[in-house]
Chain A
């Protein structure tokens, strides 16, 4: 019965598109999650997505046909600035993120309010904040864009995996032995920004942090080396996104919050499992 229903849904290309895009975004966002959690930047997802929200409002007001042209560069620049300020301690990382994040959110909402063309303003805002059904209305072009960007993110991550580990673990040592730590931090910031912009479609800007940090935190409960944690969080994230989308289709729940709910459940399971195995080891 359930499988028949699923099989019927799979007939529709938009369901297949949603699954492809959802899984890819989940994969990308989990990869750098470990690094962000460890650098104490768990909330950068939030901050950046609010910036992206602000940029989107501006794009909407300006009636840009391709809003990505504005949103992506603005988000990348903010990411660079945020990771910069995190390093010198004048404004602490979390405070800087909070400042930018709330500022952009207020600014975006203000702009939407003043210049709004659409009559359903709160509906629009809600969609941008909590993720829309837009993942179910993807065009093939958007799917391809997503595939290309995800492939680029995964490629960059794999190619620079060892450097990212080294710079995350001990930045001073990396600099001392001649690694271009600032360059790699910049690279991390850019990749994060691309992921955030991608993921906004899936879960909306309020829930992105969940997609970035939950798989990493869950994996850190179970494993003790960087490689195993990274692999585990990628697998977890993909599985959670996949089942979340399926559940939301079957039960008719909102896609974004369902995925996050599954992530939370997975964290609870990993927490319990970590307690048991940790207890056995001692």
Chain B
């Protein structure tokens, strides 16, 4: 059975439907990229997959014994209040909350893991700084480090590259590809179609037309060709 199976899923807010009849499945070790225009419902889909929102219709089935506390998540936006006192270290460590379950305190292993992930994202030097005093890109790296701490079997990323400089972006894609090689399933929303084509195994395109299949099928499909062309046009 697949890690995640989506059947006849419809997304929406209240009665307003955004996307209808989505059907796809994600297997263990897949690297799925979700692409589509602004407002096509990518973030809503990811929130529904994580059960943060109720689907309007349809089903989401978890297989392979995937538990919620084995999933890492990077939200597109975190509505952190302006005056929240929280140090970078505290936030990254909170990524381990799923690992420690009902145990009240983080153990040495979890603390080591959070230090390691801060080093990976190059934020060790401001471990004691206050989160809200960081730049947008630095904040994004903190949230990435937190997501990495939570990841054990799957990692869901909503536009991980937003706000990152080119060097860190490349490192991040490399890191995620590495995790994928270690067997971690990745689901990533991105507008960076070049990266999507370069790293992923599967692509889900949502919008007026829906496509789901392997990367090569996507590049051959009409919708994929059109989307690639529009992107190229935009870059010239």
Interface positions of A (Cβ within 8 A of B): 34, 38, 40, 158-163, 165-166, 169-170, 172-179, 220, 223-229
Contacts and interface: CB of A to CB of B under 8 A. Distances in A.
Interface stretch (B15-23, B80-88, B114-122): B80-88
Contacts of A178: 67-71, 98
B50 interface: yes
B90 A226 contact: yes
Given A173-B73, A224-B85, A162 B91 contact: no
Contacts of B128: 225
Interface residues of B, number: 39
16 contacts: A159-B104, A160-B104, A162-B100, A163-B97, A165-B86, A166-B97, A169-B84, A172-B52, A173-B94, A173-B146, A176-B71, A179-B98, A224-B87, A224-B133, A225-B87, A226-B87
Given A169-B91, A178-B69, 20 more contacts: A38-B83, A38-B84, A158-B104, A162-B93, A162-B106, A166-B97, A173-B75, A173-B94, A175-B50, A176-B50, A177-B98, A177-B150, A178-B71, A178-B98, A220-B83, A224-B85, A225-B86, A225-B130, A226-B85, A226-B87
Interface of B: 47, 50-52, 67-73, 75, 78, 80-81, 83-87, 89-91, 93-95, 97-98, 100, 104-106, 128-130, 133, 146, 150, 156
Contacts of B71: 176-178
A228 to B, nearest CB: 8
Give the dominant DSSP class at A's interface: helix
Contacts, number: 93
B85 A170 contact: no
